Each structure stands twice: as structure tokens, then as C-alpha cells.
Amino acid sequence: MSAGQNAALVARIIHHSVVDGPGNRAAVFLQGCNYHCSYCHNPETISVCCGCGTCVSMCPAGAISISDGRVIWDDEACTGCDTCIHVCPHLSSPRVRRLTAEQVMEEIRGDIPFIRGITVSGGECTLQRDFLVDLFTLAKEHKLTALLDSNGSYDYMADAELMNLCDGVMLDVKAFDTAVHKELTGRGSEPVIENARKLMAAGKLTEIRTVIVPGVLPSEETIAGIADVLKEFPGYETLRYKLIAYRNLGVREPYNTLFRSPSPEEMQDLKAFAEQKGFRNIVVI
Ligand code: SF4
Ligand code: SF4
């Protein structure tokens, strides 16, 4: 078995992460998303660069140039100051590379003895599905587990080729109520809920994730709703439910001043509520 040559837009690679799935993992973040969440902590991953050139003259290190309408980023010259992502008017970044799965594996080759697997996140990683098949094919050849961190918009179980290679999905359930979900993301919650059900039935649901934004998102309703959906399946109590406190770091204006972070007490209250609903494996971060 060998991987193809499908390239993806890669926003960044974290060589060792303990927050992107079980164990020590390499995390690959892809560029581009089909949701536009107001609370997004990585808004520079939402859009693909259109080559407008705004960031070029703003880079203090002269690390960005434009050629034939395409932005070129000089990795060596870049100091990582993030000015480019702050000035980009299109929720993008010039620091995105087009890489094949083989190139990604080459970058993490030295990490392989120390990691349990690879997690692909975003943006929304399933928008670059062919690359995922290539990367997960290589992951399996190296005896690594392969996980998706995904927003629930993809029909995972209809894609047998991908799901035969994928060990599980860490699924964002941003809101159970479809109107609330649509207001936050631009799309309703129905596909996400249906995916939670199908993935659980197939043993491919690794984790549910919900970001807690007090006064904006009805967190208890979301926890109760997803519990109702999953409780028909044996073992739902032990499914990991990650409750993620909203933080304004990285969030774009004006949302960074509109939303507030939950207090530790509010997070503990929600954890207790999730326990009441039957979840036993709750992680609060
Ligand atoms: S982070 Fe962006 S603005 Fe800063 S040096 Fe690198 S390319 Fe230039
Ligand atoms: S990264 Fe943003 S500002 Fe820079 S060229 Fe691309 S779209 Fe324009």
C-alpha cells in the first residue's frame, strides 16, 4: 500500500501534542473551513489566501512576497511575529504550505518513535479528504493511529475508504439547537447530531467537544441533547466529553470583546451537569 500525491494546504504541524487526542500525537492543521464561527480561536485558518497582497508590506522581516498573484512565504526569514495574520482582511495567512502526505510524514519522521499517532485538524480537515486518505495510509504503514478533529459537516460513514483508515473522530458539537448552531457557524446542527449517532454506532466516535461561551451558547441544552442521542448506545458513559472554556486569545474583533470566559466554578457546574446526564469521562480545559 502506498500513498498518492494529493497535496493539502497545511497551516502548521505540531510535532508533539497531548491535547489533540489520546497520548502524545503529531497534529496537522489544514487551511480552510466551511464554518465561520464567531468564537474561532484560529480565524486565520478559515479562508484560503486570495493573494490580495495586504500582508506583504506589513511584514517587518520582509518574509512575504507576491509572484504571479500568489503569496510566497520565506520560512527562514519569518520571525513568527504574527503581524501578517492580524492584518489579513480575509481570515487567512501567508504561512500556509502545499504539502503531500509524504512530505508531512517526512517532517514528522523523527517523531514517530515518540508519538502514538497523528491527528488532523483545521480549519476543517475533511475539505481536503484525498490528502487525508494518503496521510492515513502512511500512518498505518508506520503503525500510528489516525484521528480526525472535525466540525461534523462531513458524512464520514459514507466514506468507507477514509473511515477504514481512520481510528476515530473527535467531533465538535458546538450547539445542539439548530438555530443556535446556524447563528454561530452559518449551518444547522442536524448533520452534526446525525454524525454523532452514526459514528457512535460504528465505534468511531473518539470524543465530543463543546466550547463553553457563557450567556451566548446554551451549554446545558447541548450537553443534555447529545446525551439523549447517545444514551441508546452501550458504552456512551465512558465516551470522552471535552468541555472547553472559551478564551479570547486569538479570537478576532469584535467577538474578542463581546464574549467572556467561563469561571472555573461555571465549568465545574457544567461538569456536574454532564455527570447527571450520564457522562463519566469528562475533561474540562
Ligand atoms: S509572522 Fe508574518 S509578518 Fe511576522 S515575520 Fe513571519 S511572515 Fe512576516
Ligand atoms: S495572507 Fe491575507 S493579506 Fe496576505 S495575501 Fe493572502 S489574503 Fe492577502
Would the CB of 96 count as within 6 Å of ligand 1? no
In a domain, 40, yes or no: yes
Number of domains into which the chain is organized: 2
From 91, 122, 157, give the residue that closes a domain.
91
Would the CB of 139 count as within 6 Å of ligand 1? no
Task: Tell me the whole-structure pTM to 2 decimals.
Answer: 0.91
3-state secondary structure 36-100: CCCCCCCHHHCCCCCCCCCCCCCCCCCCEEEECCEEEECCCCCCCCCHHHHHCCCCCCCCCEEEE
Q: Provide the H-helix boundaries in the chain.
A: 83-87, 101-108, 129-141, 160-165, 178-185, 190-201, 219-230, 255-258, 264-276
Residue 158 belongs to domain with CATH number: 3.20.20.70
Q: Which protein residue's CA is at the shortest distance from atom 2 of ligand 1?
A: 84
Give the CA dihedral 169, 175, 181, 187, nearest 10 degrees: 10
Q: Do both 173 and 230 map to the same domain?
A: yes
Q: Do both 86 and 102 map to the same domain?
A: no
String of b and e for 94-131 (b: at least 16 CB within 10 Å)? Answer: bbbbebbbbebbebbeebeeebebbbbbbbbbbbbeeb
Please give the residue range of the domain that contains residue 227.
7-45+97-284
Atom of ligand 1 nearest to the CA of 73: 7
Residue 79 belongs to domain with CATH number: 3.30.70.20
Q: What is the CA radius of gyration of the chain?
A: 19
Residues with CB under 6 A from ligand 2: 49-55, 71, 88, 90, 92-94
Q: How do strand 7-17 and strand 25-30 relate by DSSP bridges? A: antiparallel
In a domain, 1, yes or no: no
**Could you tell me the distance, in angstroms and rounded to a whole number, from the CA of residue 58 to the centre of ligand 2?**
11
List the pLDDT tens digit at each of the 285 positions of the chain.
456 789 999 999 999 998 888 889 999 999 999 998 888 888 899 999 999 999 999 999 999 999 988 999 999 999 999 999 999 999 999 999 999 999 999 999 999 999 999 999 989 999 999 999 999 999 999 999 999 999 999 999 999 999 999 999 999 999 999 999 999 898 999 999 999 999 999 999 999 999 999 988 999 999 999 999 999 998 899 999 999 999 887 777 777 777 889 999 999 999 999 999 999 999 999
Would the CB of 81 count as within 6 Å of ligand 1? yes
Euclidean distance between CA atoms 44 and 27, whole angstroms: 17
